[in-house]
Amino acid sequence: MNALVALPVVIPMIVGALSLALWRSLPAQRVLGVLGTGALLAASVWLLITVAREGVLVMHMGEWQGPFGIVLVADLLGAIMTVLGAITGFAVAVYSIGTVEESEEKFGYYPLLHLLLAGVSGAFLTGDIFNLYVWVEVLLVASFALLTLGGERAQMEGAIKYVTLNLLSSVLLLAAVGLTYGMFGSLNMADLSDKFAQTEEHGLITVIGMLFLVSFSIKAAAFPFFFWLPASYHTPHVAVSALFAGLLTKVGVYALFRFFTLLFDQDVGYTHNLLLWIAGFTMLTGVLGAAAQFEFRRILSFHIISQIGYMIMGLALFTPLAIVGGVFYIMHHIIVKANLFLVSGAAYRLCGTYELKHLGGLYRSRPVLGLLFLIPALSLAGMPPLSGFFAKFIIIRAGVEVSAWPIVIVALITGLLTLYSMVKIWAEAFWKATPDNAPAPPQASGPMWPLYTAIGGMALMTVIIGLWAHPIYELAHTAAEQMLDPAVYIEAVLGETR
Amino acid sequence: MEPVLAIVVGVLFAAAIYLILRRSLVKLVIGLILLSNAANLLIFTVSGFTRAAPPLVPEGLEQPVGAVADPLPQALILTAIVISFGVLAFAVVLIHRAYEVVGHDDLDQMKDTDT
In tens, the pLDDT along A85-140 reads: 999 999 999 999 878 877 788 888 999 999 999 999 999 999 999 999 999 999 99
Query: What are the backbone angles phi and psi of residue A58, rounded to the nearest 5°?
Result: -130, 140
What is the number of structural domains in chain B?
Answer: 1
What is the number of structural domains in chain A?
Answer: 2
Could you tell me if residue B61 is inside a domain?
Answer: no
In this predicted structure, the answer to whether residue B115 has a pLDDT above a threshold of 70 is: no
Say what the pLDDT of residue B58 is.
85
Residue-averaged pLDDT of chain A: 91
Could you tell me if residue B22 is inside a domain?
Answer: yes
Q: Give how far A171 is from chain B: nearest CA, Å.
A: 6
Query: Do both A288 and A181 map to the same domain?
Result: no
Say what the pLDDT of residue A267 is.
81
Burial classification of residue A402, based on how many CB atoms lie within 10 Å of its CB (0-12 exposed, 13-18 middle, 19 or more buried)? middle
Cβ atoms A296, A344 nearer than 8 A: yes
Contact A157 B110 (CB under 8 A): yes
pLDDT: is A438 or B1 the higher one? B1
What are A43-64's pLDDT values in tens digits?
A: 999 999 999 998 899 888 888 8
* Interface check B90 vs A, CB under 8 A: yes
Could you tell me if residue B105 is inside a domain?
Answer: yes
Say what the pLDDT of residue A443 is.
67
Burial classification of residue A53, based on how many CB atoms lie within 10 Å of its CB (0-12 exposed, 13-18 middle, 19 or more buried)? exposed
Handedness of CA A222, A223, A224, A230 (dihedral sign): positive
What are A312-351's pLDDT values in tens digits?
A: 999 999 999 999 999 999 999 999 999 999 999 999 888 8
Question: Averaged over B78-88, what is the pLDDT?
Answer: 94
Last residue of a domain, one of A187, A209, A230: A187
Contact B46 A177 (CB under 8 A): no
Contact B43 A178 (CB under 8 A): yes
Could you tell me if residue B87 is inside a domain?
Answer: yes
Query: Do both A147 and A5 map to the same domain?
Result: yes
Contact B72 A159 (CB under 8 A): no
Helix spans in A62-201 (H): 76-99, 102-105, 109-125, 129-148, 153-184, 189-198
Say what the pLDDT of residue A444 is.
62
ipTM: 0.94
Query: Do both A182 and A328 map to the same domain?
Result: no
Phi-psi region of A353 (alpha: psi -120 to 50; beta: other; left: phi over 0): beta
Say what the pLDDT of residue A222 is.
92
Domain of B21, in residue numbers: 2-49+72-109
Please report which confidence band the pLDDT of residue A445 belongs to, taking 50, 70 and 90 as the band edges. low
Could you tell me if residue A117 is inside a domain?
Answer: yes
* Interface check A294 vs B, CB under 8 A: no
Q: Give how far A441 is from chain B: nearest CA, Å.
A: 23
Cβ atoms A112, A92 nearer than 8 A: no
Q: Which of A156, A171, A235 sits opposite B39 (nearest CB)?
A: A171
Secondary structure (DSSP) of A449-486: HHHHHHHHHHHHHHHHHHHTHHHHHHHHHHHHHHHH-H
In this predicted structure, the answer to whether residue A201 has a pLDDT above a threshold of 90 is: no
Domain of A131, in residue numbers: 1-187
Among A93, A90, A85, A146, CA closest to A119: A85
Last residue of a domain, one of A136, A154, A187: A187
Query: Do both A272 and A183 map to the same domain?
Result: no
Contact A178 B114 (CB under 8 A): no
Say what the pLDDT of residue A336 is.
95
* Interface check B12 vs A, CB under 8 A: no
Cα–Cα distance measured from residue A355 to residue A3, given in angstroms and rounded to the nearest whole number: 48
In this predicted structure, the answer to whether residue A15 has a pLDDT above a threshold of 90 is: yes
Burial classification of residue A2, based on how many CB atoms lie within 10 Å of its CB (0-12 exposed, 13-18 middle, 19 or more buried)? middle
In this predicted structure, the answer to whether residue A477 has a pLDDT above a threshold of 80 is: yes
Say what the pLDDT of residue A356 is.
87
CA dist list (Å): A341 to A27, A385, B20: 24, 22, 32
Cβ contacts (< 8 Å) between B20 and chain A: which residues?
164, 168
Say what the pLDDT of residue B104 is.
83
Say what the pLDDT of residue B28 is.
93
Could you tell me if residue B57 is inside a domain?
Answer: no
Could you tell me if residue B62 is inside a domain?
Answer: no
Q: Which residues pair with A295 in a beta bridge?
A: A355
Contact A298 B115 (CB under 8 A): yes
Say what the pLDDT of residue A458 is.
94
Q: Give how far A466 is from chain B: nearest CA, Å.
A: 34
Q: Which of B25, B80, B102 sits opposite A174 (nearest CB)?
A: B80
Q: Which CATH number do you get for residue B86? A: 1.10.287.3510
Say what the pLDDT of residue A221 is.
93
What are B87-112's pLDDT values in tens digits?
A: 999 999 999 999 998 888 888 888 87
pLDDT: is A332 or A204 the higher one? A332
Last residue of a domain, one of A187, A214, A239: A187
Could you tell me if residue B84 is inside a domain?
Answer: yes
Cβ contacts (< 8 Å) between A171 and chain B: which residues?
35-36, 38-39
Cα–Cα distance measured from residue A314 to residue A285, given in angstroms and rounded to the nearest whole number: 18
Say what the pLDDT of residue A8 is.
94
Cβ atoms A231, B114 nearer than 8 A: yes
Report the percentage of chain A scoring pLDDT > 90. Answer: 68
Contact B87 A141 (CB under 8 A): yes
What are A229-278's pLDDT values in tens digits?
A: 999 999 999 999 999 999 999 999 999 999 999 988 888 888 899 999 99
